[in-house]
Chains A and B, each alone.
Chain A
Amino acid sequence: MKNFLLFYKSSSISGKISMLMIALVFFVAVFGTAFSRHSAFVPSDSAFVPPNTEHLLGTDDLGIDLWAQICEGAKLSLTIGIFSALLSGIAGSFIGIICGYYGGFFDKFVMRVSDILIAIPSLPLMIVMGVFFGAGIQNIIFVLAVFSWTGPARIARSKVISLKTEKHVLVAESYGAGIFYLTFRHFLPEIFPVVMVSFIRLVNRGIVSEASLSFLGLGDPTAKSWGLILNHAISFKGIYFTDFWKWWLVSPFAAITLTVLAISFIARDAEKFLDVKL
C-alpha cells in the first residue's frame, strides 16, 4: 500500500488520470449493475432512444440500456484481461525460471516453441482456436494465455541466466539451496518488477484480443462484452445512415479505447517507477 502511494505520487499527470480512470472502470465493473437502473439483458424502453437522463447512453436496437451493457461489459473485459495476464504471467515466469536455471534441451525446446508462437500471427490462430474450443470465458482466457506466456517467460529466463552466475546465488547453492528456494528468495524478487510491467501490458492485450474476437463474432454470444456490443452495432445494416451509431457504436469503442490507453499510461509510469529496462 505504501509502495502504491509512492507509485501514485511519482506518476505523471496522465498516469494519475489513468489510474483514476482504471479505478472508475473497476468500480463500474464491480458495482455498475447495481447502480444502473436498467437491466443489461432485458429491453427497458423503445429501440434507439438517444442518450437522455433516463438512459445515460441511450438504448440499442432491442431497447436495452447501453450504460447497463457497458457496465456488464467492463466486468467481462477486466476479468478476461486480468486472468489471462495472471495465467500467462505466472506460468510464463515459472517456465522462464526453469528454462533459465536448468538450460539444456528443455530450455532449447521451450524457446523454439516460443519463437514459433511469436512468429505466428496470433489473431488468426486465436480465431481458429476460438472456433475449435468454442466460445466461453474460460476458453478465451486459456487461448489468450497460450499466446502471451512467451513474453514473461523470455524476460524471466534472461534474468535468471544472469542471476545464476551472481555470487550470492552460487553461495546459496553451495549451502544446498535448490531451485524452489532460489526461486522464491532470489529470483522472484528480482523478476517481479519486470514481470509486473509485462503483466500490465498483458492485461491490455487481453482486453483488446477479447474485443477483437467478440467483434468478429467469436465471443460468447450470450455474454455482454464491449466487443460484442460493437459487433451487434456493426452488423446492424445501414447503421451509418442513421444517427444511432453516435451512441450505439461510440460508447463501447470509447470504453475500450480509454481503458486500454489508461492501462498503457500506467504501464509506462510503472516501468519508470520500477526502473525496469526492457
Chain B
Amino acid sequence: MNKGAITLQDVSVTYRTPVCETNAVSGMSFTLEQGGRLGIIGESGSGKTTTSLAIMGLLGKYADVSGQIFYNDIDIQAITDARRDDFRWKKIAIVFQNSLDILNPVLTVREQIIECIDRHMHFSKDKAAARMAELLNEVGLDPKWAESYPNQLSGGMRQRVLIAMALSCDPEVLIVDEPTTALDAIAKSEIIGLIDRLQKEKNFSLIVSSHEMSTIQKLTDQTMVMYLGNVVEYGKTEDVIFSPTHPYTRGLINSSTQINSFRDLWGIPQEDVPYNSIGCPFRSRCSQCIDMCAKVKPQLKECGECHAVACNRGGVVKVMEGCGISKDFYVKGRKVAACRNVDICIRSGEVVALIGESGSGKTTLANILCGMLEKDGGEVVYEGEKLRGFAATRRQGGVQITFQDSFSSINEHFTIFQAIEEPLKLLKIGTPEERLEMVTQVLRDVQLPSDECFYLKKCFMLSGGQRQRVAIARSLVMKPKLLIADEISSMLDPSTQANILRLLKGLQNSKGFSMLYITHDLSLARKIADRVYIMKNGEIIEEGSALSVFQHPNSEYTKRLLMCADL
C-alpha cells in the first residue's frame, strides 16, 4: 500500500452519555490514496469533525468506535496509545477548527510551535527555532508575530499558526477541519491558496471538512457529502457540485452564496428526525420521500463514473419528462408549429424556468404537459407513467397548473371556499369537515385570512393578487408534485408580483414540489430558476443550469434576450 493512505472500513462512532446515545457517524467507508484530496461536506452536526477526530484517534471515552481505520497497513483502533503517538502528528496531523480557545492563551506563538516540534521530533533548541522560522515563512506569517499571544492575532493569523503547528513534523496526511469559517473574504482566499500551495509542494494527503462549498471546490478532487453521520453522496468534486444527485447535496448547493450567486437563498427546510431511527436519515426533509424511505436505509450505490449516491430512489428523480412533443395549429389553412419536437425534463424539487417571447409556444407546451391540450406527437411521462388526458391532474400528488389570468381561472360567482374546494369535491377527497380543514390550511399557506367571513366571500370581491393566491391555493390543496405556473405574475404590479413569487418559492421550498415556471421575464427567471429552457418558435434552443445559461449563453438568441433585458 502507498505511503500516507487512509482507509476507513465501515466506521461508526456512537457517543454514549448516561442519558442518550448519539450515532454521530455510521457505516463510513472510503480510501484516500497518498496525495489525494478529499472533501467532506455537510451541515453542522453531520459528523465531519467526528470523522476527523476518529482518524486521529482523539475521540474521548464516551465515544464508541466500531469498524476499522487503517493508516497505511496499521489499524489505528487496534494499537496502544503509546504506539499511536508514534505517528499521530508526525504522520497524521490535524488543523483544528479555528477558534480562540484552540491555542493556549498563556503561550506565545513561538512557544506553541516549538512545543509541537519538541514533543515529536526531539530537535535541539537551535534546530527547533530554525524549523519554527521556516514554518512561519511557509505559512506566510511575519516572524515578528512569533512573540505574540494568540489573543493578539487576527483570525487569519491564528489559522496560519494552526497550519504551521500541523505542518511542524512534515505529516503525510493533513486533516483540515473547517479552515475558512469566520474568516473574511481576503483571509479566506489566502488560507485556501496557502493550503493548496502547501499540498502541491509537499504532496501530503489532504482531508478537508467544511460546510462551505467553495472551499471544498477549490481544495479537493473527491467529495463526500455527509448527512447525520451518513455518507449520502460520493464522487468527483466537479460532479458533486455541478450535477448533484442527492436531494441533500442539491439543497446545500442552493444554499451556497458562491455557487448560487443570483438566486434568492433558501436553506433546506429544517425538521428533526430522531438520530438512531431506521430508514433514510434525510427522509423528513426530502422532497421525493416515498413509503419505502421510512423502512429501508439506503446504501451507497454507483450512479455514474466514480459517483455514488445513497438514496432509495437513486438520487433526484425525474418528475416529468416530455419527449419529442409536437403540436401544430391550423390558422386559415396555414400550419403554425407551436411545438416542434420538444424535450423537457423536470426533476424532483427543482424550479425550471421556461423562457421565451410571446408566441414561442410556451403556453402550448404547458397545456400539453398537464393534459389540457391534445398533442400531435411525442409523449409525456409522469413519474415513469405515460400520461393520457387529465390523468395527472386528477389525483392528489399529481400535476397542477396555475394560469396567467387570475380573473378567468376562477369562477367569480364561487365563494373562495367553493373555488378551493372544487377539486376535492370533484375527486371525492375527504369528508366535508376534512375538506374545510384542508381549505383553511392551504389559505394559511398562501397567507390569506382563513376565517369564515373571508372564505365565504365571493371571488369577484377579490383583487387580482388575492385571486392569484386563491388560484395557487386551489392548486396546492391537491398537494401537487409538480406545479406548472404559466406567467402567473405578469398581470400583477411589481410589489404583488414579488410577494406572490416569494410566497410560491417559500412554499416550494417547504413543501418540496417541483415547479415549471413559464415566463418571458429573464431577471425573474434568474432569481428563482435552477434550470432554464429557452424556447423560440416552438423549439427549445438552449437548456442548462440557470448559472451557465445566464453567464455563458450559447445561442445568439439567448445572447440577444439577455442583452435586451440588460442582464
A residues apposed to B, CB below 8 Å: 166-177, 181, 185-186, 189-190
A-B contact pairs, 18 of them (CB 8 A): A167-B405, A167-B409, A169-B411, A171-B401, A171-B403, A171-B409, A174-B372, A174-B390, A174-B393, A175-B393, A175-B422, A176-B427, A181-B426, A185-B411, A185-B414, A185-B422, A189-B413, A190-B413
List chain B residues, Cβ under 8 A from A172.
422, 426
Beta-carbon contact of B426 and A168 below 8 Å: no
Q: Which residues of A contact B314 (CB under 8 A)?
A: none
8 tightest A-B CB contacts, nearest first: A167-B409, A174-B393, A175-B423, A175-B426, A168-B411, A167-B408, A174-B390, A167-B403
- Which residues of chain A are near B370, meaning CB under 8 Å? 174
Which of A166, A169, A176, A181 is in CB contact (< 8 Å) with B394? Answer: A176
The answer on a CB contact under 8 Å between A171 and B474 is yes
B93-134 interface (Cβ within 8 A of A): none
- Contact yes or no, A177 B426, CB < 8 A: yes
B426 touches A166 (CB 8 A): no
Give the contacts of B361-403 with A (CB-CB under 8 A).
370-372, 390, 393-394, 401, 403
Using CB atoms, name the residue of chain A closest to B408: A167
**Interchain nearest-CB distance for B484 vs A (Å):** 11
| A166 closest partner in B (C-beta) | B408
Q: Flag if A175 contacts B394 (CB, 8 Å).
A: yes
Is B353's CB within 8 Å of the partner chain A?
Answer: no
Q: Which residues of B contact A (CB under 8 A)?
A: 370-372, 390, 393-394, 401, 403, 405, 408-411, 413-414, 422-423, 426-427, 474
Shortest Cβ distance from residue A97 to the other chain B in the assembled complex, whole angstroms: 16
B297 to chain A, nearest CB (A): 38
A173 touches B390 (CB 8 A): yes
**Closest residue of A by beta carbon distance from B409:** A167
Instruction: Tell me which of A175, A186, A189 has the highest count of chain B C-beta atoms within 10 A of its own C-beta.
Output: A175
A177 to B427, CA, bound (A): 9
Report whether A174 and B411 are in contact in the complex, using a CB–CB cutoff of 8 Å. no
* Distance from B460 Cβ to chain A, minimum over Cβ atoms (Å): 12
In addition to A168-B409, A175-B426, A175-B427, 15 A-B residue pairs with Cβ atoms within 8 Å of each other are: A167-B405, A168-B408, A168-B410, A171-B409, A171-B474, A172-B422, A172-B426, A173-B372, A174-B372, A175-B423, A176-B394, A177-B426, A185-B411, A185-B414, A186-B411
CA of A167 to CA of B372, assembled, Å: 10
Nearest residue, chain A, Cβ from B428 = A176
Given A167-B403, A181-B426, A174-B409 contact (CB < 8 Å) = no
- Complex Cα distance, B368 from A174, in Å, reads 12
Closest residue of chain A to B418 (Cβ to Cβ) is A185
CB closest chain-B residue, reference A167:
B409
Chain A residues near B393: list those with CB within 8 A: 174-175
Output the residue of B394, B409, B411, B423 with the most chain A CB within 10 A: B411
Q: Are B403 and A174 in touch, CB under 8 angstroms?
A: no
Among B401, B413, B422: residue with most chain A CB under 10 A: B422
**Minimum CB distance partner of A186 in chain B:** B411
Residues on the B chain within 8 Å of A177, using CB: 426
Q: Closest CB-CB distance, B538 to chain A, in whole Å?
A: 21
User: Given the complex, which residues of A lie within 8 Å of B411, measured CB to CB?
Assistant: 168-169, 185-186
